[in-house]
A and B are shown apart, each in its own frame.
Chain A
């Protein structure tokens, strides 16, 4: 261990060391970029069009939301096989609420402004209560999470069936449908506003962290590295906004939108979709979950309990209560995912969320969450979900037969974990 004494001129090996980036994250981004470019070539440039990128983002949201919660579950050495079924139950509860309870029992009629909030609150309560129940069985009665949630997979899938009588329920409330993607976007102006706010917030946070380090006289990265990082972050955020804005609303649809407001479409006017509300929801969830993971005691205890449950217990942490909380968070996220998934379809169907548990677990694992516990990141899981979705829809666009699509996805999952194991061995220090 030889380090230079002066903190301002540390002995840096190369440009990547100066940036202090997570090399694992870089690898994943690299793999993702290569994947996109390959598909782009094979689809004659149809993969990286604003339209397809827009679709990719809204298709990823539902799984990505649950994957952030799955990170906590897996980090604490548990597993949740019931997320898809739980999503279905939450979706069924919300569908029944907005098509039967609020219009008929409460007499609010169709598309009342209160319908969507009431339905979402009902869904969240459903998710949190079921999650707490799972957490209680696992944390306090010590039934393995695998068994509890395997049972839950059967139970909640069929509770959803029973609630709706197996029928498809729709159309859902119009305001509720705003969370679905194409039916609810911010438009160009507001998308730019959100993008700029995000850039300012990201840069402020980065330099706040730097100031905090300097205050304690810890070494910080060179200024050029900080600025370069800020530049990359800003370019990525604004670039995404620009792409989503570039996806133009078809003229016929735009005409209908103007008609609905009692106006006439001006000649030659075009408008982009902009940031979908569902993607905004995912971004907010990602930020909140990252803050919980890195900046709160709850997050610290989740990782400590995952790394060494005995140490956590001996440090006075109640690992039982922690398990309960983790599964409550998972339940709440399943409910939010259900909002996005059913709003995207514009109805509740009996098979909603089928096999999502596997996609969610795969996303978390591809994103670097270790099943042995203690290691995992929120951004990794979201990137994992995005890679899975890109792979799936990319192959569909290229025209790969359906069985081969699933064969490839399954193979990629196993291969990704192998690469991860090799990477961890090489970099050492991590168990």
Chain B
């Protein structure tokens, strides 16, 4: 991989343990601009913990994160945002009682000159960005609790897109979605990729990983089994890595 220049993200030797259990045990992964790297593994394999260390939601015990080749200091979600790292969480991380605009700008509200939140402007911006992703969306005044899974997902994705994410972490972005909405997310991933954004995609669905990702890093019991090119590895190879935790013979070299 050395011919591709500096990686956008390089996580080296990441470690995190909870009460003596190594949730993430000496794992190193990297991500290049315009690339989608799938993070695969069973529940409890440490995928989400690894990604949460990058997004600042969990503080690492040890390890180093490099962004564009430079050592990055990420200790909380705010730090991660300064590196243009945006996360779309499995639980969506939306405040159900607030409307789409309030959620999209949560923590980064637009304000008027006197320092009040500028709801009208935020709604206008939300209409612009949401209009691109889901042209039929109209319910800007409703608390997001009243929206469908796909609409909620759109709010979460809009947030990442609006704030110019360079590095996007998607934690099972299609888990709660129907067929059409899944297609929408897939199209969006292609579009973001074309813009040079690097994406870590946590997913269970091997078909999805095969079709959306460039490479896949497989984890088991907190350790990295290996990283493979999904165009070379077969579905059986990936399954073997997830279940048995062994690199396939023909890819190991």
Contact = CB atoms under 8 A, between A and B. Distances in A.
A430 B115 CA distance: 29
A430 B116 CA distance: 26
B73 to A, nearest CB: 15
A1 B124 contact: no
A216 B106 contact: no
A364 to B, nearest CB: 16
Contacts of B102: 300, 304
Contacts of B136: 1
A1 B97 contact: no
Nearest to A428: B146
Given A315-B93, A429-B143, A431-B96, A297 B117 contact: yes
B89 interface: yes
B91, B97, B102: residue with the most chain A Cβ atoms closer than 10 Å? B97
Contact of B98 (A1, A218, A304): A304
Given A311-B94, A314-B89, A430 B120 contact: no
Nearest to B142: A429
A316 B116 contact: no
Nearest to B94: A311
Nearest to A431: B145
Interface residues of B, number: 37
Given A3-B138, A317-B106, A431-B145, A311 B95 contact: yes
Given A295-B116, A429-B146, A303 B97 contact: yes
B77 A312 contact: no
A1 B107 contact: no
B183 interface: no
Contact of B106 (A295, A304, A374): A304
A170 interface: no
A306 interface: yes
Contacts of B95: 303-305, 307-308, 311-312, 374
Contacts of B204: none
B76 interface: yes
A212 B120 contact: yes
B111 interface: yes
Interface in A190-243: 212-213, 215-216, 218
A1 B139 contact: yes
A218 B120 contact: yes
Given A216-B121, A313-B77, A315-B93, A303 B145 contact: no
A307 B96 contact: yes
A291 B108 CA distance: 19
B247 interface: no
Given A1-B136, A300-B109, A307-B96, A316 B81 contact: yes
28 contacts: A216-B120, A216-B121, A218-B124, A296-B117, A297-B117, A300-B102, A300-B117, A304-B95, A307-B97, A307-B98, A308-B97, A311-B94, A311-B103, A311-B106, A312-B107, A314-B57, A314-B87, A314-B89, A314-B93, A316-B77, A316-B108, A317-B106, A374-B96, A375-B97, A429-B142, A429-B143, A430-B143, A431-B96
Given A297-B117, A317-B107, A374-B97, 15 more contacts: A3-B138, A213-B120, A216-B124, A300-B102, A300-B106, A303-B97, A307-B97, A310-B93, A311-B92, A311-B95, A314-B93, A315-B107, A315-B108, A316-B78, A429-B145
Ranked nearest first, the 8 interchain pairs of A and B with the lowest CB-CB distance are A429-B146, A315-B107, A307-B97, A307-B95, A374-B97, A316-B78, A295-B116, A304-B95
